[in-house]
Chain A
Amino acid sequence: MSENELIESIKKVGAGVLGVTSQKRKISVTIDPSVIRQVVQALLEHQPRFVIIAAVDLGMDVELLYHFDAEGKLIVVRATITKEDNQIDTIVDLMPAAEWAEKEAAELFGINFRFHPKPGHFVLPKDWPAGKPPLRKPFQGTLPEKFCPVAESLVSVGATAPITSFAKRKRKEAGLPKLPPASYSSDTSLGEVHELMKRAEFDVKAGFDWKKGKLRSSK
Chain B
Amino acid sequence: MKKYALFLGCLIPQRLPCTEIAARKVFKKLGIEVMDLQGYTCCPDPIVARLMDKKMSLALSARNLSLAEQHGLDIVVLCNGCFETLFEANRELKHNPKLRDEVNELLSSIGRRYDGKVQVKHVVEVLYEDGGVEMIKKHIERPLKLKLAMHPGCHLFREENGGDIMRKPRMMRDIIHATGADVIECKNDRICCGFPMMQADEEWALKNNVLPKLVCYQHAQVDGVVVPCPTCNLQFELGQVMLHKYGERYNIPCLHIVELLALAFGFSAEELALDIHRSPVLQLAQKVI
Enumerate chain A residues within 8 angstroms of B18, measured Cβ to Cβ: 174
Enumerate chain A residues within 8 angstroms of B49, measured Cβ to Cβ: 150, 154
In the complex, A163 has a CB within 8 A of chain B: yes
B38 & A196 in contact (Cβ 8 Å cutoff) = no
Question: Which chain A residues numbered 193 to 217 have a C-beta less than 8 Å away from chain B?
Answer: 193, 195-197, 199-200, 202, 205-206
Partner of A186, one of B39, B107, B109: B39
Shortest Cβ distance from A149 into chain B, in angstroms?
Answer: 10
> How far does the alpha carbon of A154 sit from the alpha carbon of B18 in the complex, in Å?
24
In the complex, B45 has a CB within 8 A of chain A: yes
> How far does the alpha carbon of A110 sit from the alpha carbon of B63 in the complex, in Å?
43
In the complex, B37 has a CB within 8 A of chain A: yes
A154 & B44 in contact (Cβ 8 Å cutoff) = yes
> How far does the alpha carbon of A94 sit from the alpha carbon of B59 in the complex, in Å?
48
> How far does the alpha carbon of A163 sit from the alpha carbon of B15 in the complex, in Å?
9
Interface centre among B10, B15, B44, B109 (most CB of A within 10 A): B10
B interface secondary structure, majority: helix
B8 & A182 in contact (Cβ 8 Å cutoff) = yes
A196 & B10 in contact (Cβ 8 Å cutoff) = no
> How far does the alpha carbon of A188 sit from the alpha carbon of B59 in the complex, in Å?
17
Take A182-B40, A188-B39 as given contacts and tell me if A163 and B13 are in contact as well, using a CB distance cutoff of 8 Å: yes
Enumerate chain A residues within 8 angstroms of B20, measured Cβ to Cβ: 176, 180
In the complex, A158 has a CB within 8 A of chain B: yes
A160 & B45 in contact (Cβ 8 Å cutoff) = yes
In the complex, B60 has a CB within 8 A of chain A: yes
Enumerate chain B residues within 8 angstroms of A159, measured Cβ to Cβ: 10, 14, 41-42
Question: Which chain A residues numbered 132 to 184 have a C-beta less than 8 Å away from chain B?
Answer: 143, 146-147, 150-151, 154, 158-161, 163-164, 167, 170-171, 173-176, 180-183
Enumerate chain B residues within 8 angstroms of A202, measured Cβ to Cβ: 52-53, 55-56
In the complex, B36 has a CB within 8 A of chain A: yes
A192 & B273 in contact (Cβ 8 Å cutoff) = no
In the complex, A189 has a CB within 8 A of chain B: yes
Enumerate chain A residues within 8 angstroms of B112, measured Cβ to Cβ: 192
Interface centre among A147, A160, A167, A195 (most CB of B within 10 A): A160
> How far does the alpha carbon of A164 sit from the alpha carbon of B17 in the complex, in Å?
13
B17 & A181 in contact (Cβ 8 Å cutoff) = no
Enumerate chain A residues within 8 angstroms of B282, measured Cβ to Cβ: none
> How far does the alpha carbon of A21 sit from the alpha carbon of B106 in the complex, in Å?
27
B59 & A196 in contact (Cβ 8 Å cutoff) = yes
B60 & A196 in contact (Cβ 8 Å cutoff) = yes
Shortest Cβ distance from B5 into chain A, in angstroms?
Answer: 11
> How far does the alpha carbon of A199 sit from the alpha carbon of B36 in the complex, in Å?
27
Shortest Cβ distance from A157 into chain B, in angstroms?
Answer: 9
Shortest Cβ distance from A151 into chain B, in angstroms?
Answer: 6
Question: Which chain B residues numbered 208 to 242 have a C-beta less than 8 Å away from chain A?
Answer: none
> How far does the alpha carbon of A17 sit from the alpha carbon of B228 in the complex, in Å?
55
Using CB atoms, name the residue of chain B closest to A183: B41
> How far does the alpha carbon of A51 sit from the alpha carbon of B39 in the complex, in Å?
55
Shortest Cβ distance from B36 into chain A, in angstroms?
Answer: 4
In the complex, B48 has a CB within 8 A of chain A: yes
Using CB atoms, name the residue of chain A closest to B18: A174
Shortest Cβ distance from A188 into chain B, in angstroms?
Answer: 7
In the complex, B21 has a CB within 8 A of chain A: yes
Enumerate chain B residues within 8 angstroms of A188, measured Cβ to Cβ: 39
In the complex, B1 has a CB within 8 A of chain A: no
Partner of B39, one of A147, A171, A175, A183: A183
Take A176-B20, A192-B63 as given contacts and tell me if A206 and B52 are in contact as well, using a CB distance cutoff of 8 Å: yes
A147 & B13 in contact (Cβ 8 Å cutoff) = no
Annotate B22-54 by CB proximity to A: 1 below 8 A, 0 otherwise: 000000000000001111111011001101110
A contacts, CB < 8 Å to B: 143, 146-147, 150-151, 154, 158-161, 163-164, 167, 170-171, 173-176, 180-183, 185-186, 188-189, 191-193, 195-197, 199-200, 202, 205-206
18 further interface pairs, Cβ-Cβ under 8 Å (given A160-B44, A181-B8, A196-B60): A147-B199, A151-B52, A158-B41, A160-B45, A167-B14, A175-B21, A175-B273, A176-B13, A176-B21, A181-B39, A189-B38, A189-B41, A193-B41, A196-B56, A196-B63, A197-B56, A200-B53, A200-B59
A sample of 26 cross-chain residue pairs with beta-carbon separation below 8 angstroms, ordered by A number, consists of A147-B199, A150-B48, A154-B41, A159-B14, A159-B41, A160-B11, A160-B42, A164-B14, A167-B13, A167-B14, A167-B15, A167-B17, A173-B273, A174-B273, A175-B273, A176-B20, A181-B36, A181-B40, A189-B38, A189-B41, A191-B110, A192-B39, A196-B59, A196-B110, A199-B59, A205-B52
